[in-house]
Structure 1
Amino acid sequence: MSDFVRAADEVRFVGLGSESVMGPLRRVVAAAQNGLEVIRFGGLETGATPSPFQVVARTPMYRLRRYFPEADTAATGIPIVLVPPMMMSADVYDVTRDKGAVGMLHAAGLDPWVVDFGSPDQEEGGWQRTLTDHIVALDEIVDRVHDYTGRNIHLAGYSQGGMFCYQAAAYRRSRNIASLITFGSPVDTLAALPLGIPDAVAIRGADFLADHVFNRMAITGWMARTGFQFLDPIKTVRARLEFVMQLHDREALLPREPQRRFLDTEGWVAWSGPAVADLLRQFIAHNRMVSGGFVINDRAVTLADITCPILAFVGEVDDIGQPLAVRGIRKASPRAEVFEYCLRAGHFGLVVGTSAAQHTWPAVGEWVLWREKQGDRPVGIVPMAAPEPHAEGETGVSVTSRLTHTAATIAEVGVEVGKGIAEIAAGTVRGARELSGEAARALPRLARLGQIQPRTRISVGSLLAEQGRKAADRECFIFDDRVYTYAAVNRRIDNVVAGLIHSGVRPGMHVGVLMETRPSAMAAVAAVSRIGGVSVLLPPGSDLDETLRLGTVEKIVTDPENLPTAVATGLPALVLGGGDLRDIDIEPGSDVVDLERLDTTTVELPGWYVPDPGTARELGFILFTGHGDSLEMKLITNHRWALSAFGTATAAALGRGDTVYCLAPLHHSSGLLVSLGGALAGGSRIALSRGLDPARFSDEVHRYGVTVVTYTWAMLREILDSPSLHIDDIHPVRLFLGSGMTPGLWRRTMERFTPAQVLEFYASTEGAIVLANVSGAKVGSKGRALPGSADVRLAAYDPVGRRFLEDERGFVRESAPGEVGLLLGRQSATTDISAGVMRGVFEAGDDWVPTENLFRRDTDGDFWLLDNKRTVILTPHGPVYAQPVVDALGALPRVDLVVAYDVRAGDADLAVAACTLRENKAPSVVEITAALDALPPAERPDVVHVVPHIPLGPSFRPIADTLRAQGLPKPTVRSWYADPETGTYKRFTKAVVARLEAGIVDAGSTAR
C-alpha cells in the first residue's frame, strides 16, 4: 500500500498535475488500496459496532439474546422475538446498528429479543437437529420470554424463521402470542416454486432428497450461501459488479459494506440433514403448511389452530418467498385475522437494506403498537384477501415488477425475457408432466397386480413390512393427535405377534377381531396376517354368535370396551389396546389374557414362525354382510385384498402426501379393503378417529391434514346434519371414498365440501370385481371395472324365475344396455377359494364367478346397482328393485333416509318405500310423483310413507326389518299410494288399505 502512495507522490513532483491524468490515477490507487484491504481482512473496516445484547438463556439448541438490556425499553417495552431462518446467522437482524431491525425496533420503544440457533457444525449434536427440535425450542423460548416479561409476545421470523413462527404458534395454539409477523415466509409452497419448477417435479424431487440424500448428508454454510445466490443470480452478479466498479470510492461503499459482507461471507450457517429432510418432506413434497397434519414432537399440527393476528410482509419481486406462496397463510389459518404489507423488494431486501429501513421496520413497530392499542393501524397494512385463482405457472411476481426491478442493465432484461420464455414453455408441458406423474404412480401398482400369482407372498403384514423397509421414519398412523411411524407400527405388530403366539395362535387359525376402529385393531389384523392366520372381522350386534359359528373362530382378540361381550361367548379372549391408564379386572381362572401386560421380550418364537407367509391364493380375512336371515359370510383371499388395495390407490391417486381418514368400521369392506388397503398401497398416512363425532371430525380434518375421507352408506349424513360441524370453504379434503352413498347425500357432501369429489366403489367379495366411479360425473353410478379387476360381464337375468336368460345356442345371453343382469367376474388362478364357479357361461370352456347383485349397464358402459337377487320385491306388476327407489326418493332435498321393502297384503307382495325427513318438512305429492317418474312404471313402489326413524346397522346401512314387520303403513297425511289409472301418487286412505289387505289389487296396476 505504501508503494502505491510513494508512486503517486513522485508523479505529483514530476509535474504531471493535470486533473485529467490525476483523477484516473487516484481512482486506480484507491481501488488498489481498498481491494487489498478486502483481500486481507475480508472487507472494508467500517468502524460500526454491533448493538449491545445479553444472552439471557443458553441451551445446546439455542442462545436467547436480549438487545439493549440496560435501556428503559427492556423494562417497559413490548417484547418482540425475532427468529432467523435455519441457514442464516442471527446477526441478520443487526447488520447495521442504526438501520438494522433491533436498533430500529428499540428506537420505536419495543423490547427486541433474537433467537440464535448457532451453526450445527459448531454445536454439540448439531448435525442431528430436526425440524421438531427448532419448533420445540421456539415453544420453550416463548414461555421464557413471557415468564421473564410478564407479557404476551410478538413473534417475528424471516423466511424459514417465519415458517418456524407459524408452526410454533400452531403447536402451542397461539398461547401467550400477541401476534405473528413474517417476512417472505412461504406457506403454500407448491403454489409458487422458485425458478418455475413444476409441482410434480418438486414433489418427487423433494421426496427423493429427503429419503436418499439428506438422511446421509447436511448442507454446509458455503453451500447455503451458494444456493441462496443461485436463486437470484442476476442480483448477485449485479451486486458484485457494482462493488468492483465502486471499489475506488470508499465513502460510497462503506454504508453498504456490512450488508455485502453478511451476504458474501459472514451471514451463512450450516443446515443439519434431518432438519432439511423434514422441511422437504413435510412442507415441499406434502405441502402440509396448507393442508395441516405436519408432525411436531410426534403430534399432528395444523395452522388452522392459529388464532392470534398475523402480519405477512410480501415482496413484490421476491422469487424465493413468492407472493402466492406467502399469501397461502390466508387459506391455511382461517381462524386468524391475517394482514399483509406489500413492498417492492426482493427476498433479502425485506429485512436488510434501504427498503427495510424505510418501510419494513417502521411498519413492524407501528403494527405492534396498534395491536397493543397504543396507536392506529399503520398505512400500508391491509387485510389479506382470499387467494384468487391464478393461471398455471404464475407465482404472484408480475412480469412488470420483475422487469422494473431488474432493468438496471440490458443483460438483466435479456435474462428475464429468457426466463419468461422458459416459464411459458414450462406451462405448456406442465399438463403432460402431471399426467406422466399420475402414470408413474399408477403403472407400477397395476404392473404389480398383474405379477401376482397364486403362490406370490402378499398380505397386510407383508405390505406394512415393505413400507417400513422403504421409509421407516415416515408416518403411518395418526390417532388421538399422536403420529406413529412405520418403524413404530411394525415394532408394535411384532410385539403383538409374540403375544398371540404365546397365547396359542398358529398359522391358519381363525382369530376373531372384535374391536373398535383404532390402531390396536389394525395391529391385531396385521399381526394375525404376519403369523399366517385368518382374521374374522366381527361386527358388534345380535348376530355375534352366528358370525362366530360361520367363521369357525377359535380365539377372540378384543379391546377393553368389547371385553364383556367377548367373554360372554365362552371363547378365549385376548385383550389389546385401550391406552396406558386402563384398568381391567380379570377373574382368576378365566380364559382371558391381557396382551398389554405380557412381557414379549421373554417370549421365544418357535421354529415354525416365518413372518408374513401368506400367499395370494390363501384366505386372509372373513367379513360378514347383512344381518339376521340375510347374514352372509364373505371369504377374502390375500389377492382379493391386494386387488382392492392397489385398485383403490390407483383410482383415488393416493400418494405419500395424502392422509386417509378412516371413518368406516374395520369390519366393513370399506374399512379393511379401501381405507387400510388403499392407504398402505399408496404409501399414505392413515388417520383414525374415536368414532363418528361431527365436532371431532371438524378438528381432526384440519389438524391431521385429511385429504381423503372414507365412508359407508349413510355415515356422512350425521356429520352434515350436525350444528357441531365447523368446516369452512378452506379445508384440505379432496375426496370422499367409499360405498353405498345415495345420490342425494352425494350431492349434499360435494356442496358442503366444495371442491372435494366423491369416489363411489363397488367391491364384490366373489370374483374379485372392483367397480369405481372415478370421474364422479354420473352421481349414483358404480362406474366401471378398475384396471386389475376381474373381467366383468352382465348376464341377462330373470329375477322372477331367478334364472339366467339364454340365447338360441343355450349359452347365457349378455345383457343389453339398460337390461337387468347379474354381475359376473371371470375366474382366475388367484380366486379359487371363491364360492360357486360357473363354466360354459357365454362360450364353451369359460369360467365365471357370479355375484349376488343385479345391475344395469348404460350405453357408456357404466354400471348401476339395482338390488341383491334375493331381495328383489316381486309384485303383481313386476319386480321392484330397492336401490333405484332409494336413489330417486333420496334425491329429494327434504328427504333424509330411505328404505324399500316388501309387505305381504293378501296373496301379493307390495313394494313399500319409507323415508325420514330433514327438518321435518315433507315433500309434496307432486315432488314424489316427479321423483319416481324417473323409474319405469312397473318398478315404482306401491306405497310411500314418512316414518320418524329408520335404524342403521353397524356399517350405517339403513335397515327395514322393523318396518317390514309392522306391515302396511297406516294412512296419514304423509303416506301415499300409486294410482294405476293416473300414474301419480295420491293420499293413502283407509279404503285403499282395506282393499289391499283384502288382496284386491287393481288390474290396471300392471300398466302403471
Structure 2
Amino acid sequence: MDLKFSAVTRPVERLIATAQNGLEVLRLGGLETGNSPSPSQVVESVSMYKLRRYFPPDSRPGHPQAGPPVLLVHPMMMSASMWDVTPEEGAVGILHSAGLDPWVIDFGSPDEVEGGMRRTLADHIVALSEALDAVTEITGQDVHLTGYSQGGMFCYQAAAYRRSKGIASIVTFGSPVDTLAALPMGLPPNLAPGIANFMADHVFNRLDIPGWLARTGFQMLDPLKTAKARVDFVRQLHDREALLPREAQRRFLESEGWIAWSGPAISELLKQFIAHNRMMTGGFAINGQLVTLTDITCPVLAFVGEVDDIGQPAAVRGIRRAAPNADVYEYLIRTGHFGLVVGSRAAQESWPTVADWALWISGNGEKPTDIFPMADQPTEGDDRGVALSSRMMHGIGEASEVALTLARGAADAVFAANRSMRTLAVETVRTLPRLARLGQINDHTRISLGRIIGEQAHDAPNGEFLLFDGRVHTYEAVNRRIDNVVRGLIAVGVRQGEHVGVLMETRPSALVAIAALSRLGAVAVLLQPDADLTGQVRLGGVSEIITDPTNLGTARQLPCQILVLGGGESRDLHLAADAAVTDMEQIDPDVVALPAWYRPNPGYARDLAFIGFSTASGQLVAKQITNYRWALSAFGTASAAALGRTDTVYCLTPLHHESGLLVSLGGAVVGGTRIALSRGLKPERFVAELHQYGVTVVSYTWAMLRDVIDDPAFALHGTHPVRLFIGSGMPTGLWKRVVDVFAPANVVEFFATTDGHAVLANVSGAKIGSKGRPLPGAGRVELGAYDAEHDLILENDTGLVRVPEAGEVGVLLAEPRGPIDPTASVKRGVFAPADTWISTEYLFRRDNDGDFWLVGRRGSTVHTERGVVFCDPITDALGLIPAVDLAVTYGVSMDGHQVAVTAVTTRPGATITAADLSEAVAAMPFGLGPDIVHVVPEMKLSATYRPTVSALRAAGIPKAGRHAWFFDAEANQFRRLTGLARAELSGAQ
C-alpha cells in the first residue's frame, strides 16, 4: 500500500517542486543560492576601471603579511564577477586559501560609463598597466598577471608595453596569440583578414555590441553544449539540491556575466590581432607606441583547453614563437573555453596549479608537476584548430576516436588539395587591379606619389602608414602634414615645375617633404650628402633646398634659398640674421591662402617628378625619374611582392637612393602597407626593429644586408616575422646566406633600367642570381642576338634583328612606354618594319624556362686569348663558394691583350683553395672563367653598397702569392699564381 501511495505522491511532489523552482527562476532569474561575494576593497576607482583587492589584510586576522599578488584580468565582454562566481570554486577564494593575494581589475560595463562606448583596445591595456603600477606600489612585490581569453591577450600586450616591468609572471587561459593559426568554427585563415578588415572598417565603426548579443554569440560558438545545459536544467528543476552547486555558474553564463563591447575596441581587435595577426608579427600600436611580444621576459604559463574552440591549442601555443625571450610553460586540460576558469575542473586543476606556479616563481614552493615547457611550434602546421567532430564528441560523447581520426584525415586531404588554389585566388584578387591600373597608365594619366598617398588616406584614414622611432603615424595624419607643408611651400614662393633640393636624413619629415613637392607638382631633387653637393645642385637646376636642422650647416654653404623642416617647432636655429634661411615650422598653414593656379597632384605620368644622382666612371650623373617611372616601380613592387595591409615594409636605404624612393616607399604606398624608416643599418637595431615594427618585407640594395647578417653581433633570437626581401643587385653568396638565416623568407630580386622601360623580377626566388622574367603590366622586353667579339647586334636573312636561342647572349631591348630619354639608344625596324625599341645596353641570356640572367653591360666584356669573357656569370659563380664574402670581375689590359681578373674577399676565418675555384668554374652553366683570382683584404662599396672596381683595375695584375691563383687551360684547373705564371699572363716573356 505504501508503495502504491508513493508511486502516486512522488510525481505530484516532483511537479510541485518543479513549479516552485520554476516560479523562482522566472521571478528572480534563477534559484536563490544563499552565496555572498567574497570580501573585497576598492583600492582605486577611475573612469576606466576599478581595482579591487580581495580578502584585504585588515580582514585577515593572523595574516599580517600578504602572499604573492595575483592580478586577474577579465575579457571585455565578460563581467569581472567571473572570478568570484562561487566562494568554493571561484578563483579569488581558491587563490586566497592557497596563500596568495588576489586582485581584480574591473573595467565595468562601458554602456554604463560616460564615454565608455568610445573605449579603444589601447585604453584597456594602458589601464591595466596603471593598475599594475598601483598593485606593485601597495604590495611592494612584482605581480603575477593572470587573464582569461581576451583578458590573457591584454596581459601579454600590457607586459610587452611595459617590457615586463613589475611582472613576476603571466598566466593565461585559452588566450590566442597566433590568431590565424586556428580560428573558431574552422574559419579559413585566407579569408579572415579580409573579413576582419571589412567588419572593422564598415560595421564596428558605427556599431557596438550590447551584453545580450555578446552572450548569444558566445553560446552560438557551441550551440550543442548550450542546448544540452538548458535541457539538463529543466529536467532537474525539481531537484533543487542538485542544481544549487552549479546555479551561480549557470546564471553567470545565461544572463549576469555579460557586458557590452565598444565598437572602437572591437575594430582595433579585429584589425590588429586578427586581420594583421600582430601578436605574432609584432608592431601593434598602443597609444602610438609600437609594441612586440619579444619584449616579454618574465615566465609564462599558458593553460590550453584540448577541446577549446575559441582559444584553440594552435592559436594559444603561438606564444612560444611570439615571445622567444620568455620561459613558456603549458598546462593541458581536457575542457572547453569557459571550463578553463569556472567549474569543478577549474577548481580542482586550474586554480591550484596557478597557486603552485605563483609560489614556485616567487621562491616559496616546488614546481607544479603537471606543467611542461611548451614545445617549439612550427610556423605552419597541419593543425588548423579543434575539429567540429572533436567538439561534438566532447559535447555529446557519441563520436568515436576512429571517426575522429577519419574526419581529421579527410579534412587534411581537402585542405592540402585546396591550399594552393586558395592562395592563388587571394593573390590574384590583390594583384590584378594593380596590374590593370599600371597597364592603363599613359602620358596623360595623372599619377604621382602625392596622389597615391591621398587615395590611401581617403580609403583608410586610420590605417597605419609611417613607423619611426617606435611610433606610428596614420595615413590621415601624414596626409594632413603633407597638405600643411604644401601650404608652407606656396607661402615661400615655390611653384609647380620648380626644382627643389631635398637634403635630409631618413625621417618622417623627409618623406613628407618629398610627397609635398609631388603634390605641389614640383620636382624633388634628391641630394646625396656624401657626394658633390655643388655639382648636384647645378645638375639638378635647384632653386631652393629643403633641409632638416642636422644638415642646415651644410645647406647654408650652397647658393640657394634654404627651407628648414622638421626637428620640432621649439628649436632655435639662430636664423635672425640669415635672410636666406626660412623656418618652415614657423609658417601657420591655416593663414596661407591657396593661389588660383594651385591644383593638388597635377602631375601627369610623362612629367618629371624626381632627380636622383649616381656616379659613373667617376663622373656625377643626374637620373631623371618621371611619374610613370615611379609608378611602374611602385605598382610593380607591390604586385611582385604581393604587398597588402598586413605587411610592414622596412626601408633601410635613405630616401635619396632609388631603392628607397622607388621600391620601399613606392611599393608600400601602392600596397597600402606600413613603411618603417630606420635611422641606420646596425645589427642590434635591425633585429630590434624587425620585431618592434612587425616587419614582413625588408628592402635592400646590393650588398647592404651583408653588414647585418655577417656581423658577429647578429642574432635573431627565435622566430621573425619577415617573409620577403625585395631589392636589386644582391650578390649570390649573400643571397644564399640570407635565405638560410631567415628561412622560410624568400628574396624577390628586381632589375630595372633608369628610365623604367625594362623591368624584370625574380618573384619565385628559386634560382639564386636570376633576374627573373618581365614584370606583368610593364613594357615588353626582348633580346636581340649579340656578337660579343665584334660588338654587333645580329640580324637574320630578312634584315630584322634575330631573337637568340635559349642560352645565347643578347642585348636587352625594351619597347618604350612613356617619354623617351633624349640620350637613349633608340632603334627602329628591329623585329618588325617601323617598330621602335630602346637598347638598354645590358647583355642577358635566357634559359630554357624563360628566366633572364645578366651577363654584363655592353662593352664590359673581356677579350682574352682564350676568348670573350663575360664578367657577371663569373662573379655569380664564385660568390656561391661558402668561403667567399664578395666577388667582382673586371678586365686588365696588359701588352696588347686583356686578362680577366676576379677579386674576392673572404668571410671571417674562412679560406679558399684552388679546388674550390676549379669546382665553381666547372659548374658555371654559361661562359668562360677568369684568368686570375686573388683575395683582397677589403672591397670598397659605393653609397648604394655596390662593389667598385676602379681601384682594383688600376692596380693591374695581382702579385704572386698564396692568395692568388691562375687558370691553367691545359690542365683545366686553377693553380697557385707564381712569379713565372704572372709574367706569362702579362706577356712579359
Bucket of the pairwise TM-score, normalised by the shorter protein: over 0.9
The residue number in structure 1 matching 2:176 is: 186
Aligned to 2:732: 743
Equivalents in 1 of 2:403, 2:880: separation in Å? 59
| 1:514, distance to aligned residue in structure 2 (A) | 2.6
**Aligned: 1:549 with 2:541:** no
Aligned twin of 2:238: 248
1:375 to 365, 374, 384: 365
Q: Could you tell me how far apart the structure 2 residues matched to 1:824 and 1:545 are?
A: 35
In the other structure, the counterpart of 1:119 is 109
Matches within 5 A, 1:510-521: 510-521=499-510
How far, CA to CA, are the matches of 1:523 and 1:697 in structure 2? 24
CA distance in 1, matches of 2:388, 2:761: 44
The question of 1:150 aligning with 2:137 is answered no
Displacement after TM superposition at 1:555 (Å): 2.4
What does 1:639-658 correspond to in 2, within 5 Å? 639-658=628-647
Stretch of structure 1 that moved more, 361-370 or 898-907:
898-907
Task: Kindly provide the amino acid, as one letter, of the partner of residue 669 in structure 2.
Answer: L
Within-5 A mapping of 1:278-427? 278-388=268-378, 392=382, 394-395=384-385, 397=386, 402=391, 404-408=393-397
Partner residue of 1:667?
656
Counterpart amino acid of residue 51 in structure 1: S
2:49 is the alignment partner of 1:62: yes
Provide the identity percentage.
57
Query: Is this contact kept in 1: 2:393–2:399, CA < 8 A?
Result: no
Secondary structure of 1:715 counterpart = coil
Partner SS state of residue 577, structure 1: coil
Indicate if the aligned counterparts of 1:767 and 1:848 stay in contact, CA closer than 8 A: no
Aligned partners of 1:327 and 1:387 also within 8 Å: yes
Instruction: Establish whether residue 45 from structure 1 lines up as the match of residue 32 from structure 2.
Output: yes
How far the C-alpha of 1:355 sits from its partner, in A, is 0.6
CA distance in 1, matches of 2:259, 2:570: 45
> Any conservation in 1 of the 2:296–2:323 contact (CA below 8 Å)?
yes
1:216 maps to a residue whose letter is R
CA distance 1:783–1:424, change in 2 (3 Å): closer
Q: d(CA) in 2 for partners of 1:961 and 1:412?
A: 72
Q: Is the 8 A contact 2:731 2:886 kept in 1?
A: no
Which of residues 763, 772, 796 is equivalent to 1:783? 772
The answer for the alignment partner of 1:218 in structure 2 is 208
Alpha-carbon deviation of 1:205? 0.4
Query: With structure 1 as the length reference, what TM-score do the two structures score?
Result: 0.94
Question: Match for 1:49: what amino acid?
Answer: S
After TM superposition, the structure 1 = structure 2 runs for residues 982-997 of structure 1, keeping only pairs within 5 Å, are 982-997=971-986
Contact kept in structure 2, 1:639 and 1:831, CA below 8 Å? no
> Equivalent residue of 2:190, what SS?
helix
Letter in 2 for 1:816: E
SS of the aligned residue for 1:209 comes to helix
Q: Could you tell me the TM-score, scaled by structure 2's length?
A: 0.96
Distance in 2, Cα, partners of 1:939 & 1:631:
33
SS class of match (1:902): strand
SS at match of 2:505: coil
**Residue range with higher mean Cα deviation, 438-447 or 293-302:** 438-447
C-alpha deviation, 1:833, in angstroms: 7.8
From the superposition, tell whether residues 568 and 995 of structure 1 become closer, same or farther in structure 2 (CA, over 3 Å).
farther
Task: Name the counterpart of 1:262.
Answer: 252
Is residue 95 of structure 2 the alignment partner of residue 105 of structure 1?
A: yes
Tell whether the 8 Å contact from 1:453 to 1:830 is kept in structure 2 after alignment. Answer: no
Task: State the partner residue of 2:713.
Answer: 724
Contact kept, 8 Å, 1:901 with 1:913, in 2: the verdict is yes
The Cα of 1:633 is off from its aligned counterpart by 3.3
Please tell me whether the aligned partners of residues 782 and 812 of structure 2 are also in contact (alpha carbons under 8 angstroms): yes
Provide the rounded CA distance (Å) in 1 between the counterparts of 2:243 and 2:514: 71
Alignment of 1:833-872 (within 5 A): 835-872=824-861
Structure 2 CA distance for partners of 1:937 and 1:191, relative to 1, 3 Å: closer
CA distance in 2, matches of 1:183, 1:952: 53
Distance 2:657 2:540 in 1: 15
Partner of 2:555: 566
- 1:798 matched to 2:798: no
Contact 2:509 2:565 in 1 (8 A): yes
Maintained 8 Å contact 1:403/1:416: no
Alignment-derived partner of residue 17 in structure 2: 30
Change (3 A) 1:84 1:548: same
Tell me the CA shift for residue 610 of structure 1.
Answer: 1.0
Aligned equivalent of 2:902: 913
Q: Could you tell me which residue of structure 1 aligns to residue 928 of structure 2?
A: 939
Shift of residue 41, structure 1, vs aligned partner: 1.0
Give the match for residue 486 of structure 1.
475
Could you tell me which residue of structure 1 aligns to residue 440 of structure 2? 451
Q: 1: CA distance between counterparts of 2:100 and 2:362?
A: 11
Q: Which amino acid aligns with 1:838?
A: K
User: RMSD of the alignment, in Å?
Assistant: 2.5
**What residue in structure 2 maps to residue 1005 of structure 1?**
none
8 Å Cα contact 2:314-2:383 kept in structure 1: no
> For each residue in 1:7-57, what CA deviation from the matched residue of structure 2 results, as whole angstroms up to 9, or x when unmatched?
xxxxx9xx9971112111111111111111111111111111011111110
Is residue 684 of structure 1 aligned with residue 673 of structure 2?
yes
Which residue type is aligned with residue 67 of structure 1? Y
- Does structure 1 retain, via aligned residues, the 8 Å contact 2:569–2:586? no
- The alignment partner of 1:718 has SS state of helix
Q: Deviations over 1:787-813 (max 9, x none)?
A: 111111011223454332112222221
Q: 1:830 to 1:60 in 2, by over 3 A?
A: farther
Q: How far apart are the structure 2 equivalents of 1:932 and 1:182?
A: 57
Q: Structure 1 residues 898 and 829 mapped into 2: Cα distance closer, same or farther (>3 Å)? A: closer
CA distance in 1, matches of 2:289, 2:346: 36
Structure 2: how far apart are the matches of 1:859 and 1:121?
Answer: 67
Q: How far apart in 2 are the matches of 1:351 and 1:110?
A: 17
Shift of 1:580: 6.4
Q: Give the superposition deviation at 1:770.
A: 1.8
Q: Distance in 2 between matches of 1:843 and 1:469?
A: 46
C-alpha contact (below 8 Å) 1:57/1:64 kept by paired residues? yes
Partners in 2 of 1:799 and 1:540 — Cα distance?
Answer: 39
Which segments of 5 or more consecutive residues in structure 1 lack a partner in the other structure? 1-11, 1001-1008
What's the CA shift for 1:377?
Answer: 0.7
Q: Residue in 1 aligned with 2:466?
A: 477
Q: 2:611–2:623: 8 Å Cα contact kept in structure 1?
A: yes
In 2: Cα distance, 1:212 partner to 1:403 partner: 34
CA distance 1:623–1:851, change in 2 (3 Å): farther
CA distance in 1, matches of 2:840, 2:625: 14
Change (3 A) 1:426 1:726: closer
**Following superposition of structure 1 onto structure 2, how do residues 894-905 of structure 1 map, counting pairs within 5 Å?**
894-905=883-894
Alpha-carbon shift at residue 169 of structure 1 (Å)? 0.1
Structure 2 residue corresponding to 1:236, chosen from 202, 210, 226: 226
Find the aligned partners of 1:410 and 1:954 in 2 and give their Cα distance: 66
Per the TM alignment, residue 495 of structure 1 is displaced from its structure 2 partner at its CA by: 2.0
What is the Cα deviation at residue 970 of structure 1? 2.0
In the alignment, structure 1 residue 135 sits paired with structure 2 residue 122: no
Which moves more between the two structures, 222-231 or 799-808?
799-808
Q: 1:146 to 1:632 in 2, by over 3 A?
A: same
CA contact (8 A) 2:844 2:853 kept: yes
Q: Deviations over 1:145-189 (max 9, x none)?
A: 111111111100000000000000000000010000001100000
CA distance in 1, matches of 2:986, 2:418: 70
Question: What is the letter of the counterpart of residue 600 of structure 2?
Answer: P
Equivalent position amino acid for 2:281 in 1: S
The residue number in structure 2 matching 1:756 is 745
CA shift, 1:602, in A, is 3.2
CA contact (8 A) 1:767 1:850 kept: no
Question: Would the alpha carbon gap of residues 412 and 888 (structure 1) be closer, same or farther in structure 2, given more than 3 Å must change?
Answer: closer
